Amino acid sequence: MRTSVISKMQRSFSIELPSLVPLQLPSRMETHLWYVVPEEVKSKSLLKHYSQLLSPPEKDKVLRMRGDELQKNALLARTLVRTTIARYQTNNVVDPRTLMFKKNMYGKPEVDWQNYKNCDNPPLHFNISHTDSLIACGVTVYVPVGIDLEDKGRKIKHDVLALAERFYSTDEVKFLSTIPDPEVQRKEFIKLWTLKEAYVKALGKGFSAAPFSTFTIQPKAGTTGGYNLCKEKTKKCNGEWKFGLLELADSHYAAICIEDDQASGGAPMRVIVWKTIPFVEDELISESRFL
Amino acid sequence: MASIAASSSTYLQARPRQLAIAANQVKCLSYGRRSHLSFNLRQLPTRLSVSCAAKPETVDKVCAVVRKQLSLKEADEITAATKFAALGADSLDTVEIVMGLEEEFGIEMAEEKAQSIATVEQAAELIEELLLEKAK
């Protein structure tokens, strides 16, 4: 273990777990996005500490993943969720091992605050997404959030237009079919995928509540980085949901969707991004370019 | 989860399904070398599993499509009970798997079903249902 970490140890939890640095809550309409690059987490003892944070069912789930790499990523994903949420507690940093999770009636994971007598628990919402090479967790207060990541270079095995025709809305197919360069077309397909997926995850009602072909996401005219959600049948686009699309770590597209509480007057989404290695370091990523 | 269809006379048109309830010893997921995880790769407890009689050929074809989509190696094991997520498939992979299955079997799956298939077994059962429908 590095000396800087040892000097921070407070022994308030059991053996050797260094303390977590507390965090300021996001403000309304702000999303905090935390990501881990699995390749950067190599220390066996650190991974061992992480595995001590997980509940028994979570450990079982990690073990059911096929192969060391998938198991490591599953471990990092749960670690990221537990440590991030623990750090946002307004009174004391909560022991990440004591956090409990439940699923809403459609299967979307949420924090279960029943163990905490403290009524000041902020109405935190979170959502995670991961690929082979990146794991991210989005956090908001008061409004539901959905995030999705995709590797920018991800190969699509089928014809992109055929996939779009099968799964996307007619307007989205029209948009994609006007793109002459197949590489650009592939990228736009993936960006759309992440936006649509982020919406369904923010909605939290499962895919059957919002099949991809029933809604269109399109860039908002006159803005950079704003998107509209329009229903396929009615073509109505109401502003209930806000979207943001960014490039993360030079390698991924990350889409964020939050419920718009209408109080922000149509202002674009604010996202603050950190790269992190739980218990070790945080790095504020100052430039988030919206796409 | 495997769907349980009663083989009663009201289902005359559908092929009656036999259910075999087998106690399965779940295999220990050990890959022959030490894991960096601190908790042991212990055997998961015996549990009852309901195996549905989707034809082995269907299951095999589904496995082949999944292998191709996820670029699995020969050594990677995949059976009826295998969850796509455990193989590292995300939702885009699942949708591509569905397209691959639709092409392979000449069927079309309803979108909500397509995006919620989680195991080889589920895919195989849905495919056989759709093939039956088609044959009517």
Predicted confidence (pLDDT) per residue in A70-115, tens digit: 999 999 999 999 999 999 986 677 889 989 999 988 889 999 877 6
Domain for residue A11, yes or no? Answer: no
CA distance B12 to A139: 52
- The CA–CA distances, whole Å, from A39 to A19, A73, A220, A251 equal 23, 10, 36, 13
> Does residue A184 belong to the interface with chain B, where contact is any CB pair within 8 Å?
no
- Total number of domains constituting chain A: 1
The pLDDT value recorded for residue B29 is 42
pLDDT digit string, tens, across residues A26-54: 988 789 999 999 999 999 999 999 999 99
Instruction: Please tell me the distance from the alpha carbon of residue A4 to that of residue A35, in angstroms, as a whole number.
Output: 22
B81 contacts on A by Cβ (under 8 Å): none
Q: Report yes or no on A38 lying in a domain.
A: yes
Domain holding A58: CATH number? 3.90.470.20
Residues of A in contact with B76 (CB under 8 A): 66-67
Asked whether residue A82 is assigned to any structural domain, the reply reads yes
How far is A228 from B75, CA to CA, in rounded Å? 45
Would you call B126 exposed, middle or buried from its count of C-beta atoms within 10 A (0-12, 13-18, 19+)? buried
pLDDT digits (tens, 9 = 90+) for A235-279: 898 788 999 999 999 999 999 999 987 776 667 789 999 999 999
Tokens standing for B32?
């022959």
Is residue A60 in some structural domain? yes
**Chain A contact present for B86, CB below 8 A:** yes
The H or E element that residue A112 is part of is strand A109-112
CA B51 to chain centre: 10
Q: Is B60 a catalytic residue?
A: no
Tell me if chain B has a CB within 8 Å of the CB of A150. Answer: yes
Buried b (16+ CB within 10 A) or exposed e, A94-104: bbbeebebeee
Q: Which residue of B has its CA nearest to A44?
A: B36
Q: Using a CB–CB cutoff of 8 Å, tell me whether B74 touches chain A.
A: no
CB atoms B38 and A52 under 8 Å: yes
Whether A250 maps to a domain, the answer reads: yes
Whether B115 and chain A come into contact, CB under 8 Å, resolves to yes
Q: Is position A19 within any domain?
A: no
Beta bridge partners of A243: A257
Cβ neighbourhood burial of B8 (10 Å; 0-12, 13-18, 19+):
exposed
User: Chain B residues with CB inside 8 Å of A60's CB?
Assistant: 44
Residue at A1 is within a domain: no
Q: What is the pLDDT of residue A208?
A: 80
What is the pTM for the complete model shown? 0.82
Best probe of the B interface among A207, A208, A214, by most B CBs < 10 A, is: A207
Closest among B96, B134, B128 to B115, alpha carbons compared: B96
Question: Which ranges in chain A belong to alpha helices (H)?
Answer: 3-8, 44-51, 56-64, 68-87, 160-167, 170-177, 182-203
Give buried/exposed letters for A43-78 (b at 16+ CB in 10 A, else e): eeebbebbbbbbeeebbebbbbbbeeebbbbbbbbb
Looking at residue A121, its pLDDT comes to 66
Q: Is residue A22 part of a domain?
A: no
The domain containing residue A121 runs over which residues?
27-290
Q: Give residues with Cβ within 8 angstroms of A46, minimum separation 6.
A: A1, A277, A279, A280
